[in-house]
Amino acid sequence: QEGDTLQLINPISIVTTTNKDKDGNITGYTVTFTDTVTKQVITTLDVTTAKVTDNPTMFNVNLGTLVDKPVTPVVPTIKTKAHTKDGDQTIQKVEVSKKTPVYDKIMTTNAIKGDQMVASLHRIVTDKDGKVTESKIIRTLNFTVDDEIVKSQEKQIESTVDTTKDADVPETSTVTYVWTEDLFDEGKNPKTDEPKAKHDDFKDQDQTLTVEKVKKPVTPPSSTTPSSSKPTTPTTPKVSLPTTGSETGDMIMYGGALAVLIALGTGAVYYMKKKKSTKEEV
């Protein structure tokens, strides 16, 4: 009761378990009171058999404990599972485009109708040591928890990103896309108020998509023959007497032929002189 106004409470589940001694004799009962909506245990009572009245299944309960005991508020939780179009968590080379589709499956507990959900997609670049060199939000999606989400406690969201420039980062760097979510009560301002639940662990692989590294083509070594290596020109042997004696071999052959001609000429002169002298003697 608040002032003069009565407030309805959620249905309560009462479960009793028996306590026994070493011989199996019942010594008492433990009674557990649970909120059937929030699943919270409101209180537990231990009742001995001495306090049981009327018959073994009846006992007195102080109902004041249900009113006086403070109830801890239920805190919603958020988990996600990011994925690409083919269902994995790697943006492969064949998926790179100006509109690469990316998805996130959001799983909540205790989200109620009217709650506001803000989902953000971050592009993060890390160097070879894992240090963040670039981080920015590139997409923000907002939606309200409806009856369908309350029933399933799930919501799948999707967006597109330009991944064509991800190959421009240094070869030792890694590009990832990370989803984060914040849940706000109905009527709260997501820009100024604190969320009642959040999912923002940037190291959680479940909410992370990684861009596949593409090896840059390697230029093959030049096939040009080094300048220091000079090809050997094969020598063709001479087989005939050339018309012009321009090389040493040709000169030797030509000179030899000339010597034969001169020798023949000298013999003829000598023969002619000998014949003349014979005639004169007669």
pLDDT digit string, tens, across residues 211-245: 998 776 666 666 555 555 555 555 555 554 444 44
Question: What is the mean predicted confidence (pLDDT) over 256-260?
Answer: 47
CA distance readout (Å), 243 to 98, 108, 128, 247, 248: 77, 105, 77, 11, 14
| Alpha helical stretches, state H, 170-247 | none
Say what the pLDDT of residue 55 is. Answer: 62
Tell me the pLDDT of the chain averaged across its residues. 78
101 - beta bridge partners?
160
Question: What is the mean predicted confidence (pLDDT) over 175-190?
Answer: 95
19 or 243, which is more confident = 19
Q: Locate tokens 């943006």: which residue?
A: 91
Q: Where are the beta strands (DSSP E) in 110-189?
A: 116-126, 132-144, 154-161, 174-184
Query: Which one is the CATH code of 77-211: 2.60.40.3930, 2.40.420.20, 3.40.50.1370, 1.25.40.10?
Result: 2.60.40.3930
| pLDDT above 80 (res 121) | yes
Q: How far apart are CA 117 and CA 111, in angstroms?
A: 10
Q: How far apart are CA 277 and CA 75, in angstroms?
A: 151
Which two tokens mark 38?
Answer: 């929030």
Give the range among 50-64, 76-90, 104-118, 174-188 with minimum mean pLDDT: 50-64
Say what the pLDDT of residue 186 is. Answer: 93
Q: How far apart are CA 135 and CA 153, in angstroms?
A: 30
Contacts of 32 (CB under 8 A, 6+ apart): 14, 15, 16, 17, 41, 43, 44
* Segments of the chain assigned to CATH 2.60.40.3930: 77-211
Helix (H, G, I), strand (E, B) or coil at 2: strand
